[in-house]
């Protein structure tokens, strides 16, 4: 029986055990935002790595942060770093779940529970892939360094400092990230990086309480101040007009442009799904696709002020605020954007607009070509008989910067437990049971190919 | 015993009866917005006018509107019109009331209940004043025409049409309006008119649902559209910049300016009460006072879009909307403002901003000098031994336009059951029991003086 067949037999024979372990992981409500179940989950994970035979250690973080669980196993000329996280989003609104969020539930070929998709399924199936490898194929052909974070869902607030402190320990030839999946057409997708993010609340304080609007001739209205301030950040062509902002946008390379333009893009389907008559500025499909990956954004995610009920209430509001997210491309950073934003507003007299940064992650752009990418394509062909769609980077954001950019290690998101209706961060989060085990096999195949390329 | 003394004796002897009647008025929950108790209240009022000896009739209004109760009594060279309304604001939030809103409750010298201040106290005490006059002084020295509306709290939506239809019947030499009261310094206040109002909701529809903000490069964000559109309506000096708007503002007359500048204005106290470090644009007190009465306003009363909770949510909102109220001075009207606003936005490409008018009342500016004003000053000296503060018009709004401007009859708000903590439209609405009867005596004094000037 060849190696890969023995591997499959082992996985099949251990399906129930693997799912039982998965259920134990899901049962721990490791909600970082609420500091629930964090220590318990870090300990359970540490125990699981020990059982695998890995050298494992918890790294405490300052200010009561969730510890990083770091594990090493195997040896070889190449080193593969694996990044996952053991924390999850809060489960609310609980009423919208059809199953208990912290009980792994099988139903109609799916596995339901908070974290099944984001990110405990990927996390555990990769450990189990190594177990199956060791049981059926002997020693690993490379070294694996696992960095398992417990604060991904609250913005990885301590990761950069921790990576800086532990840089000597963290050398690797490639990083297998979380995420990656398949799209509605069934195409396996991968990505080598992501945009960064800077999320701010802008707030203007007016009178101490909402006032009768008859006072408007003599009382400064914070909602007008906010509107006027915001209106200077973009023009009506939706171009960001913050002083100095665009000078920090690194141009795309010809290879990056070529890879973006080669991506599949079901423009009509997209517009149909979201009820859009046209793209912004009437962009054609080709221009829209490129712009989606190329440009940084400034998005008003929310506006709040005064009376918001039905009908009329004649008030001059006490407070006005906006939630604003910036998706960042190199070489923009959250610090830089905050500084530019403050200077821009101050220069126009908007010193009364308070800026609070709510989260920030630097952009991570990884080399388009790398041995890890080549290995991932081979493993995808093995696993799904498909050449994957390789996004140069996600239009979304994640904490890739410290490990990938600071340490200069190519990164790839691949593994495909995420599916189009996975509902990460939402009620009824789910993955397909079939995908859990396919992803496990993909990991083994990636180990094999990465050790050889 | 002189007339006025006999009048007082009668009022004192009938206090319990008068308050019992007041209790019957308060007990009917005549909430126009909910079409509750309207017919019952109109009938109770009609019965009360019959008991007084007035000729009374209910005028039904179209679309199930609350009937106007119209009554006439007395005769003489002069005609006094009295305007009040028998509908009230909804009582919610009920939990914040310390007494039952529809049970007139005496407590600590005050009378509590929905409508005691706005406007059933004024309404009934004026009827009882005429009863006491008839009982102690014989025939009335003038004709009284009572227009009692049942839709004031929902914007007097049918009043203008009704007045137009009944114009022949409604001639008068002066109108005694609702409102007027005394301020925190105990000064009796009156007003001869009010600003108008136009209240709009501006709404921009984006994608069918909130989207992931990573799509911002290619999807039009309704919150940005709204902000850009709003920002064209005012400049950062808080001047209204709607095309053609300011050309409709009628300049003040020298007499109007003189009267405004003579008004008391506790600027420091005002700023202190509302936590304001300074007035808008650092206006000095004198400029602030004049501006309060002189200029029309455009106020953002509310802003709503996307995510408004704690922390971050990275969405591109489906919808953004603003509540916008304009306080109008002559010759601005709600129709005109709506038309100017639509043209202004269209001219700048904001055809995607929907405008819905939620309410509108035209401004009412009455002659500063009039026999009614003279009589009101005399009656104020009789009643409170004070020359009242005469505001040329309220900075707020009311349905004075149809009766006062269309019919060209000088109007005055006077009567003083309103006090600084009267809480009209709010829980625990109250008046002072003392003021109820003082107001009743003021009405009699006004009748006497108005018949003589």
Nearest CA in chain A to B195: A214
DSSP letters for A129-193: HHHHHHHHH-S-SSEEEEEEES-GGGT-TTHHHHHHHTGGG---SEEEES--EE-TT--EEEESE
Q: Name chain A contacts of B357, Cβ cutoff 8 Å.
A: none
A20-37, pLDDT tens digit by residue?
999 999 999 999 989 999
Which residues of chain B does A275 touch, with a Cβ-Cβ cutoff of 8 Å? 207-209
| Residue A1 reports pLDDT greater than 90 | no
pLDDT digits (tens, 9 = 90+) for B320-332: 999 999 999 999 9
Q: How confident is the model at residue A426 (pLDDT cuts 50, 70, 90)?
A: confident
Give residue A416's pLDDT.
74
B60 CA to chain A: closest CA distance, Å?
25
**Mean pLDDT, all residues of chain A:** 95
Please answer yes or no on whether A308 and B297 come within 8 Å at the CB atom: no
Contact assignment for B208 to A315 by CB distance below 8 Å: no
Test A217 with B292 for CB contact under 8 angstroms: yes
CB contact under 8 A, A230 and B227: yes
Residue B207 and residue A275: Cβ atoms within 8 Å? yes
Is the pLDDT higher at A294 or at A93? A294
Q: Is the pLDDT of residue B416 over 80?
A: no
Percent of chain A with pLDDT over 70: 100
Q: How far is CA B48 from CA A395, B87, B250, in A?
A: 72, 16, 43
A89: Cβ–Cβ under 8 A, 6 or more apart, which residues?
Answer: A31, A33, A114, A118, A153, A424, A425
Q: How confident is the model at residue A326 (pLDDT cuts 50, 70, 90)?
A: very high
Is a pLDDT exceeding 90 seen at residue B397? Answer: no
Give A368's pLDDT tier (boundaries 50, 70, 90): confident
Q: According to the model, what pLDDT value does residue A312 have?
A: 85
When pLDDT is averaged across residues B21-49 and rounded to a whole number, the result is 97
Contact B223 A274 (CB under 8 A): no
State phi, psi for A153 to the nearest 5 degrees.
-75, -5
B301 with A283: Cβ contact below 8 A? no
pLDDT at A4: 80
Nearest CA in chain A to B211: A274
Which band of pLDDT confidence, cut at 50, 70 and 90, is reported for residue A93? confident
> What residues in B contact A209, CB-CB < 8 Å?
274-275
Q: At what angle do helices B121-137 and B3-13 cross, to 10 degrees?
A: 130
Measured between beta carbons, the chain B residues lying within 8 angstroms of A358 are 311-312
- Give A196→chain B minimum CA distance, Å: 11
Kindly report, residue by residue over A300-312, the tens digit of the pLDDT.
999 999 999 888 8
- Check B213 against A299: CB less than 8 A apart: yes
Please tell me the distance from the alpha carbon of residue B444 to that of residue B215, in angstroms, as a whole number: 70
Contacts of B349 in chain A (CB under 8 A): 236
Asked if B230 and B202 touch (Cβ cutoff 8 Å), the reply is yes
Report the pLDDT value the prediction gives residue A394, as an integer from 0 to 100: 84
Q: Are B323 and A312 inside 8 Å of each other by CB?
A: yes
Q: Locate the domains of chain B by residue range.
A: 3-192+366-450, 196-249+295-361
User: Closest to B306 (Cβ–Cβ): which among A197, A294, A303?
Assistant: A303
pLDDT of residue B1 exceeding 80: no
Residue B31 pLDDT class (50, 70, 90 cuts):
very high
The pLDDT score that the predictor gives to residue A98 is: 95
CA B116, B119, B122, B124 dihedral sign is negative
Nearest CB among B217, B359, B394 relative to A292 is that of B217
**Cα(A440)–Cα(A132) distance, rounded to whole angstroms?**
9
**Given A216, A302, A308, which is nearest B297 (Cβ)?**
A216
Instruction: Give the pairing type, strands A389-391 and A188-191.
Output: parallel
pLDDT of residue B396: 80
| Whole-number Cα distances in Å, B158 to B60, B67, B149, B161, B194 | 10, 10, 10, 6, 19
Q: Which CATH architecture has domain A3-192+366-452?
A: 3-Layer(aba) Sandwich (3.40)
Chain B residue whose CA is closest to A289: B218
Q: Which two tokens stand for residue B77?
A: 């060279």
B56 three-state secondary structure = strand
Residues of A whose CB is below 8 A from B299: 213, 216, 221, 314, 316
Q: How many angstroms away from the CA of B341 is the closest CA of chain A?
A: 17
DSSP annotation string for B207-276? SSS-EEGGGTTTS--HHHHHHHHHHTTB-TT--B--TTSGGG-PPPPHHHHHHHHTS---HHHHHHHTT-
User: What does the pLDDT average to over B146-151?
Assistant: 98
State residue B281's pLDDT score. 96
- A26 by Cβ neighbours in 10 Å (0-12 / 13-18 / 19+) ranks as buried
Mean pLDDT over B7-16 rounds to 97
Q: Which pLDDT score is estimated for B19? A: 98
Closest partner residue to B207 (CB to CB) among A212, A274, A395 is: A274
**Residue A21 pLDDT:** 98
> Per the CB < 8 Å rule, is A276 touching B219?
yes
Give the homologous superfamily in CATH for domain B3-192+366-450.
Zn peptidases (3.40.630.10)
Q: Taking the model in full, what pTM does it have?
A: 0.90
Pairing of strands A394-397, A79-85: unpaired
pLDDT of residue A396: 80
What is the secondary structure of A195-219 as a DSSP string? EEEEEEEEEEE-SSS-EEGGGTTTS
Residue A352 pLDDT exceeds 90: yes
CATH class, range B196-249+295-361: alpha beta
Most confident residue range from A86-100, A285-299, B382-396: A285-299
**Tens-digit pLDDT profile for residues A384-407:** 999 999 998 987 888 999 999 999
pLDDT digits (tens, 9 = 90+) for B421-444: 898 888 999 999 999 999 999 999
Reported as a single tens digit per residue, the pLDDT across A34-91 is 999 999 999 999 999 999 999 999 999 999 999 999 999 999 999 999 999 999 999 8
- Subunit contact A228:B217, Cβ cutoff 8 A: no
**CB-based contacts of A352, cutoff 8 Å, min separation 6:** A204, A205, A225
**Interface contacts (A, B; CB < 8 Å):** 226
Chain B interface disruption, residue of A323, A349, A359, A360, most B CBs within 10 A: A323
Nearest to A125 by CA among A250, A246, A21: A21
* The pLDDT of residue A279: 97
Kindly tell me if the per-residue pLDDT of B93 is higher than 90: no
Mean pLDDT for A342-350 is 98
């Amino acid at each position: 029986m060849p190696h890969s067949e023995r591997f499959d037999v082992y996985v099949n024979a251990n399906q129930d055990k693997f799912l039982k372990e998965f259920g134990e992981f899901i049962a721990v409500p490791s909600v970082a935002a609420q500091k629930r179940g964090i220590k318990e989950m870090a300990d359970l994970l540490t125990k699981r790595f020990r059982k695998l035979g890995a050298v494992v250690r918890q790294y405490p973080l300052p200010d009561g942060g969730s510890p990083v669980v770091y594990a090493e196993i195997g040896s070889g000329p190449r080193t593969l770093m694996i990044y996952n996280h053991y924390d999850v989003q809060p489960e609310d609104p609980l009423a919208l779940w059809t199953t208990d969020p912290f009980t792994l539930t099988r139903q109609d070929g799916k596995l339901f529970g908070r974290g099944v998709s984001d990110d405990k399924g990927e996390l555990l199936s990769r450990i189990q892939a190594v177990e199956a490898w060791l049981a059926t194929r002997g020693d690993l052909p490379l070294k694996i360094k696992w960095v398992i974070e417990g604060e991904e869902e609250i913005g990885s607030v301590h990761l950069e400092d921790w990576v800086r402190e532990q840089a000597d320990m963290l050398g690797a030839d490639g990083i297998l990230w979380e995420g990656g999946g398949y799209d509605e057409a069934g195409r396996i997708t991968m990505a080598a990086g992501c945009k960064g993010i800077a999320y701010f609340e802008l707030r203007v304080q007016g009178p101490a309480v909402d006032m009768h609007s008859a006072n408007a001739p003599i009382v400064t209205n914070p909602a007008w101040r906010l509107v006027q301030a915001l209106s200077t950040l973009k023009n009506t062509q939706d171009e960001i007009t913050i002083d100095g902002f665009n000078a920090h946008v690194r141009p795309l390379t010809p290879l990056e442009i070529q890879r973006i333009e080669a991506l599949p893009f079901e423009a009509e389907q997209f517009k149909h799904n979201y009820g859009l008559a046209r793209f912004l500025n009437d962009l054609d499909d080709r221009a829209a696709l490129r712009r989606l990956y190329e440009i940084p954004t400034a998005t008003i995610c929310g506006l709040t002020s005064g009376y918001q009920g039905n009908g009329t209430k004649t008030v001059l509001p006490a407070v006005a605020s906006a939630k604003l997210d910036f998706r960042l491309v190199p070489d923009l950073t959250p610090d830089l954007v905050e500084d530019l934003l403050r200077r821009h507003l101050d220069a126009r007299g908007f010193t009364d607009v308070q800026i609070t940064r709510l989260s920030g992650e630097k952009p991570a752009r990884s080399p388009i070509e790398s041995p890890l990418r080549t290995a991932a394509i081979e493993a995808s062909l093995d696993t799904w008989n498909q050449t994957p769609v390789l996004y140069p980077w996600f239009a979304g954001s994640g904490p890739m910067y410290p490990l990938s950019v600071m340490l200069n290690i190519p990164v790839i998101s691949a593994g495909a437990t995420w599916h189009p209706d996975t509902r990460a961060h939402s009620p009824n989060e789910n993955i397909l049971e079939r995908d859990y085990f396919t992803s496990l096999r993909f990991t083994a195949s990636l180990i094999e190919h990465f050790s050889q390329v």
